Structure 1
Amino acid sequence: MEAFLISTGIVALAEIGDKTQLLAFILAAKFRKPVPIILGILVATLFNHGLAGALGAWITSLMQPQTLRWVLGLSFIGMAAWTLIPDKFDVDDAKLAHAGIFTTTLIAFFLAEMGDKTQVATVALAAQYHAFLAVVAGTTAGMMIANVPAVLLGGRLAHRMPVKLVHGIAAGIFAVLGVMTLLGAGKSLGL
């Protein structure tokens, strides 16, 4: 349960102001049909984070626990710094309109999420917790918590959110996870 809750919280916070959340705002404004957009986000996230979680689980089989602890600890600290850097959205990420709303959202979200901080966080969390399903379910829930309101409320919500504060909180959580991992907090997990 801890892996699910931490994964959900970290990704929900990290996703605020992220390029994929900006993509959700743009798709909502462009198509004005929330259900296929939300379903596209869900399917793209499950697939993308499923792959990331599998990668995280695989990485644990390649490294000795001590090495993995250092890699994960430093990765979480790196994620803390990355979270503080504002995302920029490339308008080309939303130019698939002739594919249908669901397919456009699915492809755009999957591609935008490749190499994104929430995907990298999924890899690290899956490696940290050795709980593939809980982490993927949690990171997917976090994505939905951040993006469904973006789709439903569109531009009305975008300007009212304290993005810097939210990113600061997410960065703090990543930093604490990194330091705790480096100090051996994951020893019960074999790290």
Structure 2
Amino acid sequence: MMAISDEPLQSEKASSPTQSSDSDMGEPDRANLDDAKPSPQDTLTWKGELQIFLSTFLTIFLAEVGDKTQLTVFLMSAESGSPWTIFLGAGSALIATSLCGILLGRWLSQHVSPKLLERFAAVLLLAIATVLLLDVWQG
């Protein structure tokens, strides 16, 4: 069993500022000295990774309980008589939609400021909540 440690994870991109190249005969790579500060992604610990995983799992799990997707899977499983095939199809679809969300989120994080992204998400969620409340009130 793998133990969880507090040691930082190092990405493959991270390199030591004293790493030498073929052209400088063992001298420190001066171009990398300015980039020596690790990014947050380079210093995540195993506990940090586990915390992100659990937070993501619980958020998505709780959001999906009783959702249209779960009800659809429930009905398809009951009608088809092949619950494991439905499980594999639904699981694959959720993985694919999650991948799309991750890729879009990563692209947005590189092209849009975090402040603007947060504001856009807040406005979008408020709009969705307003539509849902109006739907409930109108019966």
TM-score (norm 1): 0.38
Provide the rounded CA distance (Å) in 1 between the counterparts of 2:134 and 2:71.
15
Residues 17 and 84 of structure 1, relative CA distance in 2, 3 Å threshold: farther
- Letter of the 2:56 counterpart: S
| RMSD between superposed Cα atoms in Å | 2.8
Higher relative contact order (CA 8 A, sep 6+): 1
Gaps of 5+ in 1: 87-191
Confirm or deny that 1:4 pairs with 2:4.
Answer: no
Q: Which residue of the other structure, out of 115, 129, 137, is the alignment partner of 1:66?
A: 115
Provide the rounded CA distance (Å) in 1 between the counterparts of 2:133 and 2:85.
31
Residues 83 and 33 of structure 1, relative CA distance in 2, 3 Å threshold: farther
Could you say which structure has the larger radius of gyration? 2
Provide the rounded CA distance (Å) in 2 between the counterparts of 1:49 and 1:28.
22
Q: Deviations over 1:135-183 (max 9, x none)?
A: xxxxxxxxxxxxxxxxxxxxxxxxxxxxxxxxxxxxxxxxxxxxxxxxx
Cα shift at 1:78? 5.7
Confirm or deny that 1:34 pairs with 2:83.
Answer: yes
1:14 aligns to what?
63
1:49 aligns to what?
98
- Letter of the 2:88 counterpart: L
Do the aligned residues in 2 keep the contact of 1:14 with 1:83 (CA within 8 Å)?
no
Gaps of 5+ in 2: 1-49
Residues 81 and 50 of structure 1, relative CA distance in 2, 3 Å threshold: farther
Residues 5 and 81 of structure 1, relative CA distance in 2, 3 Å threshold: farther
Higher helix proportion, which one? 1
- Taking the TM superposition and a 5 Å limit, the aligned residue runs for 1:174-189 are none
Question: What is the aligned residue count?
Answer: 86
Percent of aligned pairs with the same residue?
Answer: 29
- Taking the TM superposition and a 5 Å limit, the aligned residue runs for 1:71-86 are 71-75=120-124
